[in-house]
Chain A
Amino acid sequence: MASETLDIEFRGVSKRYGDVTAVHPTDFAVPKGAFIALLGPSGCGKTTCLRMIGGFEQPTTGQVLIGGADMAEVPPYRRPVNMVFQHYALFPHFDVSANVAYGLRQVRPRLTSSEIARRTADALAMVQLAGFGKRKVHELSGGQQQRVALARALVNRPSVLLLDEPLAALDKKLRTDMQIELQNLQRELGITFVLVTHDQEEALSMSDVVCVMNGGRIVQLGAPDEIYDRPADRFVAAFVGKTNFLDGTVVENGGNAARIRLANGMEIGARLTGGGAPGAAVSVSLRPEALRLGAATGETGLGGIIRNRIFLGSTAEYAIEVPGLGTLLATADHDAARSDLLRPGDEVAISFNPGAPLAFPVADNKTTQRETSHVEVLS
């Protein structure tokens, strides 16, 4: 990929703090105008990656490129990126306008004060805070402070906006609103967004590209549906969305059409990712929504007893005890007319599409511990 079409590129970038390796050598690239989410559990190195793009940390090895230019000697105040900090980092001794105008005031040659005032007002209007310019920062709610932080970054029209868990401190309703707003802003402005989050729902719903990280490495990079439907390994399957894991052994490895014997003796077809010779232990992932529940027929097949039902509005979650396999989670659409069909204590038959089960080697870590976690980008 030509580097003019890339906004950010990591070439063999790693970061060590003393004995701790926060980020292992990583290659990765973000195309212009993309909305990419860095997703992973706490401590996996997401913030460190973001801070290396912003220039607040220097990589131990490798190069960070922004718009094709090496950033090794470039301090944060000369990088064409802006960051929305996790705790907003608004300046408490300035009012809202002064906070938003701060970046514009540093521009050389100087902008005229009417230009600064106009762009500040525009930016505040963009985040729906028109008229809040004279407020003190501490007079605003958390959601409003979040918007000020966003306006303060976007007013500079950066080529890349970095967001470190920007919505983590907001309550659920506000978070959903802001997710939609951020998406709209990104589409309208065409600025590359790099969003750090540990919330898989947020990553899947907002971004074009999800970059799943674990233990300082990128484990998978792809479109949200790809990450969800075809996770690269057991970690991604477990971390992104809910899933059931069933223990099994490989009977026959045919790649996309492997035969797996489950712990209860039943044999199923599954897509086997990561390889495994016959006899190897695997973990089979079955998403709750892939399971279909029907009235027990007595036929040989998967079946169990409903132990619990959690009503979630449009759907319901069933915990089903399956002999020899443990408890499985199944999601079914809520159908008001037939809601009395399945109750705790009922026996049910469980079926699923042949393509649904995904098998992963259990002792996964050996195959994924490559020196460089190189992942191709789709654009």
Chain B
Amino acid sequence: MMRAFVTAVYGFLYLPIALVVLFSFNAGRHASEFTGFSFQWYGRALSNTFLMEALTNSLIVATTSAGLASLCGTAAAIGLGRAGPRTRAVFDALFGAAIVVPGVVIGIATLVALVQLFGIVNPALAALWPGDTPPRLALGYGSIIAAHGLFSTALVTMIVRARLGALGRDMVEASSDLYAGPFTTFRCIVLPQILPAILAGFLLAFTFSFDDFIVAFFVAGSQTTLPIYVFASIRRGVTPEINAIGALVLAASIVLVIAAQLLLRRRTPASS
């Protein structure tokens, strides 16, 4: 009974995904029957310029937001390691909350906040600008990167904090006992040992941003990311081309997440 239930749950979870992958290799047009093995939909997907543009957008947004998140998250983690116990507890709770808040809420909240901000900044810019065409802040790349970067910063902070905690104060003190100033200690002792965690954080942040539809949908403005493109094209019916994109995104995500896990599991990084 229990077993059947569990099987059903996993079936519901993974069967549709398996079907997407299977039908991405379908020679025929229709999802109703598998008429033969073919790579043709992958070729079509890769030669679709709208699709490739959305993919490029997604890559730019994911790389930038994950990069920013890695920088800010690492800095936050190091800062928190030095903060008092009360400050630390408050910020740990805030970062934890940022991760469990549903995407819809983040999306709406970011949208509202950005629109309000633009409402204040744009008139001010227009008034102060010496030229004729003052720049206008609007939804687009910037707002997606900001929204993803904020969420991912929380993610990276949590991951790097865990690694820093395992490092302990001994290592830092030993370095400083051996005449190394704070900067050298960070560069030679701390950074090499938390680097796997930072990279893992980057990969997870990248995966999140690359796959995210909900938050991006709210704040993308006129920009199209890959998930938004897929969503839009599904209205015109599920084609094997969509399946091919889905299979590619799935493969990339799995590779990135596994790489992140391997980085996090490795105890001591290679000698430098």
Question: Is there a chain A Cβ closer than 8 Å to B116's Cβ?
Answer: no
Question: Is there a chain B Cβ closer than 8 Å to A95's Cβ?
Answer: yes
| Chain B residue contacts of A92, Cβ below 8 A | 193, 267-268
Contact of A156 (CB < 8 Å), options: B171, B175, B179, B184? B179
Q: Mark B162-183, 1 if CB is under 8 A from A, else 0.
A: 0000000011011111111100
Question: Is there a chain A Cβ closer than 8 Å to B271's Cβ?
Answer: yes
Question: Is there a chain A Cβ closer than 8 Å to B11's Cβ?
Answer: no
Contact of A106 (CB < 8 Å), options: B171, B178, B193? B178
Contact A102 B193 (CB under 8 A): no
Measured between C-beta atoms, what is the minimum distance from A283 to chain B in Å? 41
Could you tell me the distance between the alpha carbons of A103 and B180 in the complex, rounded to whole angstroms? 7
Q: Mark A91-112, 1 if CB is under 8 A from B, else 0.
A: 1111100100011001100000
Question: Is there a chain A Cβ closer than 8 Å to B189's Cβ?
Answer: yes
Contact B171 A94 (CB under 8 A): no
Contact of B177 (CB < 8 Å), options: A82, A87, A93? A82
Contact B173 A56 (CB under 8 A): yes
Contact A156 B272 (CB under 8 A): no
Could you tell me the distance between the alpha carbons of A14 and B153 in the complex, rounded to whole angstroms? 42
Contact of B174 (CB < 8 Å), options: A78, A81, A89, A156? A89
Contact A76 B177 (CB under 8 A): yes
Measured between C-beta atoms, what is the minimum distance from B183 to chain A in Å? 11
User: With A92-B268, A93-B270, A136-B271 as given contacts, are A77 and B181 in contact (CB-CB < 8 Å)?
Assistant: yes
Could you tell me the distance between the alpha carbons of A78 and B93 in the complex, rounded to whole angstroms? 38
Contact A102 B171 (CB under 8 A): no
Question: Is there a chain B Cβ closer than 8 Å to A85's Cβ?
Answer: yes
Contact B271 A77 (CB under 8 A): no
Measured between C-beta atoms, what is the minimum distance from A234 to chain B in Å? 36
Contact of B269 (CB < 8 Å), options: A56, A93, A102? A93
| Chain A residue contacts of B179, Cβ below 8 A | 77-78, 103, 106-107, 156
**CB closest chain-B residue, reference A87:** B170
Could you tell me the distance between the alpha carbons of A86 and B270 in the complex, rounded to whole angstroms? 25
| Chain A residue contacts of B178, Cβ below 8 A | 77, 82, 102-103, 106, 152-153, 156
| Chain A residue contacts of B171, Cβ below 8 A | 89, 91
Task: Tell me the B21-44 residues at the A interface (CB within 8 Å).
Answer: none
Could you tell me the distance between the alpha carbons of A98 and B188 in the complex, rounded to whole angstroms? 11
| Chain A residue contacts of B175, Cβ below 8 A | 91, 102
Contact A76 B271 (CB under 8 A): no
Measured between C-beta atoms, what is the minimum distance from B178 to chain A in Å? 4
Measured between C-beta atoms, what is the minimum distance from A79 to chain B in Å? 8
User: With A94-B271, A136-B271 as given contacts, are A85 and B173 in contact (CB-CB < 8 Å)?
Assistant: yes
Question: Is there a chain B Cβ closer than 8 Å to A75's Cβ?
Answer: yes
Question: Is there a chain B Cβ closer than 8 Å to A54's Cβ?
Answer: yes
Could you tell me the distance between the alpha carbons of A156 and B272 in the complex, rounded to whole angstroms? 22
**CB closest chain-A residue, reference B180:** A106
| Chain B residue contacts of A82, Cβ below 8 A | 177-178
Question: Is there a chain A Cβ closer than 8 Å to B103's Cβ?
Answer: no
Could you tell me the distance between the alpha carbons of A94 and B184 in the complex, rounded to whole angstroms? 15
**CB closest chain-B residue, reference A54:** B177
Contact of A85 (CB < 8 Å), options: B170, B192, B269, B272? B170
Contact A102 B268 (CB under 8 A): no
| Chain A residue contacts of B174, Cβ below 8 A | 83, 85, 89-91
- Chain A interface extent, by class: 20 to 34
Measured between C-beta atoms, what is the minimum distance from A53 to chain B in Å? 11
Measured between C-beta atoms, what is the minimum distance from A361 to chain B in Å? 42
User: With A92-B193, A93-B192, A95-B271 as given contacts, are A75 and B176 in contact (CB-CB < 8 Å)?
Assistant: yes
Could you tell me the distance between the alpha carbons of A85 and B271 in the complex, rounded to whole angstroms? 22
Question: Is there a chain B Cβ closer than 8 Å to A138's Cβ?
Answer: yes
| Chain B residue contacts of A76, Cβ below 8 A | 173, 176-177
Contact A138 B177 (CB under 8 A): no
Could you tell me the distance between the alpha carbons of A83 and B175 in the complex, rounded to whole angstroms? 10
Q: Mark A124-140, 1 if CB is under 8 A from B, else 0.
A: 00000000000010100
Contact A89 B269 (CB under 8 A): no
| Chain B residue contacts of A136, Cβ below 8 A | 271
**CB closest chain-A residue, reference B172:** A89
| Chain B residue contacts of A83, Cβ below 8 A | 173-174, 177
Measured between C-beta atoms, what is the minimum distance from B236 to chain A in Å? 53
Could you tell me the distance between the alpha carbons of A108 and B238 in the complex, rounded to whole angstroms? 68
Contact B170 A93 (CB under 8 A): no
Measured between C-beta atoms, what is the minimum distance from B272 to chain A in Å? 6
**CB closest chain-B residue, reference A137:** B268
Task: Tell me the B174-226 residues at the A interface (CB within 8 Å).
Answer: 174-181, 184, 188-189, 192-193
**CB closest chain-B residue, reference A98:** B271
**CB closest chain-A residue, reference B171:** A89
Contact A77 B268 (CB under 8 A): no
Could you tell me the distance between the alpha carbons of A274 and B170 in the complex, rounded to whole angstroms? 42
Measured between C-beta atoms, what is the minimum distance from B182 to chain A in Å? 8
Could you tell me the distance between the alpha carbons of A82 and B179 in the complex, rounded to whole angstroms? 9
User: With A89-B171, A93-B192 as given contacts, are A77 and B177 in contact (CB-CB < 8 Å)?
Assistant: yes
Q: Which of A90, A98, A106, A153: most chain B Cβ within 10 A? A: A106
**CB closest chain-B residue, reference A76:** B176
Contact of A93 (CB < 8 Å), options: B181, B184, B272? B272
**CB closest chain-B residue, reference A108:** B179
Could you tell me the distance between the alpha carbons of A103 and B179 in the complex, rounded to whole angstroms? 6
Measured between C-beta atoms, what is the minimum distance from B73 to chain A in Å? 22
| Chain B residue contacts of A138, Cβ below 8 A | 268
> 21 A–B contact pairs at CB < 8 A?
A54-B177, A75-B176, A76-B173, A77-B179, A77-B181, A78-B179, A81-B177, A82-B177, A82-B178, A85-B173, A85-B174, A89-B173, A93-B268, A93-B272, A94-B271, A102-B175, A103-B179, A106-B178, A106-B181, A138-B268, A153-B178
Q: With contacts A77-B179, A83-B177, A93-B270 known, what are 5 further pairs, Cβ within 8 A?
A: A76-B176, A87-B170, A89-B170, A106-B181, A107-B179
The 5 closest A-B CB pairs, nearest first, are: A103-B178, A89-B174, A106-B179, A89-B170, A92-B268
